[in-house]
Amino acid sequence: MALTLATYNVHGCVGRDGRHAPDRVLQVLRELDADIVALQELHWQPDAAIDQLLDFGTRLGYETIAGPTLLRDGGHYGNALLTRRSVIDVARLDLSLPGREPRGALDVRLHGRQGPVRVIATHLGLSPRERRIQAEALLAPGAPRAAPVEVLLGDLNEWFLWGRPLRRLNRHFGATPSLATFPARWPLFALDRVWVNPRQRLVQLARHRSPLARVASDHLPLRAVVEA
């Protein structure tokens, strides 16, 4: 049975026109219609009447998992996961380095049709040294939480296809297509990535390039089909 996953940097729900418009992002998520969606740069206000993350989950029929990396008086900011598959357990990884913007990852095990599926959703740092250290940290805890199928997805912020973090991840998961997702209007850089282990379980990987996706954020989403 196929499992559909997507990763989407929503840029705080601010589109290319500078408007904060969560309903546009919501509509892109409807278009994706994925079982599991990793979100980056999501801003939500947990004490407000309308919690952005929970609102997405309620309106689209997802369970929501928050992975805030910045805690602010006006709300939280960071990673999140939307899932239609039932959750086994959740670990939150701190990938922050001193002097840099806080970073993290959600390490979630879900029920798949053929056994547990491990999904790691992340957003790596801006400096090459940061990304090297963070990529190593993502792979370090693998054995205790191993599952028959493992997926790593998110915004890797790696501008160069030959970057060391990508080489390290390709060695672990197997090489995966590099599809340009940034900037959304004329994508040139493959900042958003999906890896699957075993590699042969990745059936399809594509950019979602609908007219709305080109304006709702500065990144295009990626959508993958996985046997799991």
Calpha distance 193→143 (Å, rounded)? 22
182-198 tens-digit pLDDT = 999 999 999 999 999 99
72-99 tens-digit pLDDT = 666 667 899 999 999 999 999 999 999 9
User: Containing H/E element for 152?
Assistant: strand 149-155
151 forms beta bridges with 119, 196
- Given a cut of 70, whether residue 156 has pLDDT beyond it is yes
Looking at residue 68, its pLDDT comes to 83
End-to-end Cα spacing for the chain: 6
Query: Which residue would you say has higher pLDDT here, 152 or 112?
Result: 152
Q: Residues 225, 6: contact at Cβ < 8 Å? A: no
Please give the share of the chain, as a percent, with pLDDT higher than 70: 92
Distances (CA, A) of 80 to 1, 66, 69: 25, 5, 10
Looking at residue 143, its pLDDT comes to 52
- By DSSP bridging, strand 149-155 and strand 115-123 are parallel
- Given a cut of 90, whether residue 105 has pLDDT beyond it is yes
Instruction: Determine the average pLDDT of the residues in 42-54.
Output: 70
The amino acid that residue 200 corresponds to is: Q
Domains and CATH numbers, the chain: 2-227 (3.60.10.10)
Dihedral sign, Cα of residue 205, residue 42, residue 213, residue 180: negative
Nearest to 102 by CA among 41, 154, 151: 41
Query: Which residue would you say has higher pLDDT here, 196 or 70?
Result: 196
Q: Residues 210, 32: contact at Cβ < 8 Å? A: no
